[in-house]
Structure 1
């Protein structure tokens, strides 16, 4: 057991007052609040949800504060709690199913585009070399991110970006009318 842990454990009276407990809590985690919020915001990309996650994290940390053995590990402990709170958020999520029958959805589906522009575009895409056509279709048709395309094709993220750039460039030259 480290010197700090021993000192911290020995300074806690068995019957701690609520005010003393609050001061101990503030000393333990107060300096990590900004980092927690930044991490939560990075996870969810929504300020309100991030604030809620931090608040839930603080509540769980308050309840479990006496189980923290090493005060110097408080930041990692809090981040773990926050990550688990984020996971719980999805466990509680209950998707609402639509009352629209499947047949009605099929009726709303758009038909195949038979315009001249669509025909030219399909032919131009077919003319692309496969190494450029595949990442472009993964992004445009399937909605994959550059990172997902890289994983799917077994290439680097930068390589996927390069292929997407070159695919668009070649496609543009195939579709644009020739200038005299």
Structure 2
């Protein structure tokens, strides 16, 4: 009888500890993980779903996370896999655009236009260049951390970051010169 009591007490204590670890994980990384998912997906509601699924998987596998310092990288990996799973099971519906007109009711500010413009330019980069750049810009990851996250050589990451920035500068200058021609 006492053995059962101590077993229940130990299990309860373990569950409470796991709950506290999970809540700390969510509190510390939710905003960053959502921001990364949004950059990958470009749709707020789908990004929210992917983040929710990410944290659900994190809860289920929390005991596998031994190094708390690796939590952010672990969560980013889960987000990337969840995003990939989305395409494995998704059957895309086609819609006739001409038959379904959509009114655009969004009011753009200059800042939101600049952010949307930058996001559009980032999306023009190939994924191999875009992903390391986003990891560096959003999370402040170093070349070594990005290399570990993407399972690449550090020199490869540094080359991709350099090329991504160069391509982005080229796209920006092209865009600026085109705007100048249209306005002049």
Q: TM-score range by the shorter chain?
A: 0.3 to 0.5
Q: TM-score, normalised by structure 1?
A: 0.47
Q: TM-score, normalised by structure 2?
A: 0.47
User: Using CA pairs below 8 Å that are at least 6 residues apart, which structure has the higher relative contact order?
Assistant: 2
Query: Looking at CA atoms only, which structure, 1 or 2, has the larger radius of gyration?
Result: 1
Give the number of the structure whose residues are more often helix, by fraction: 2
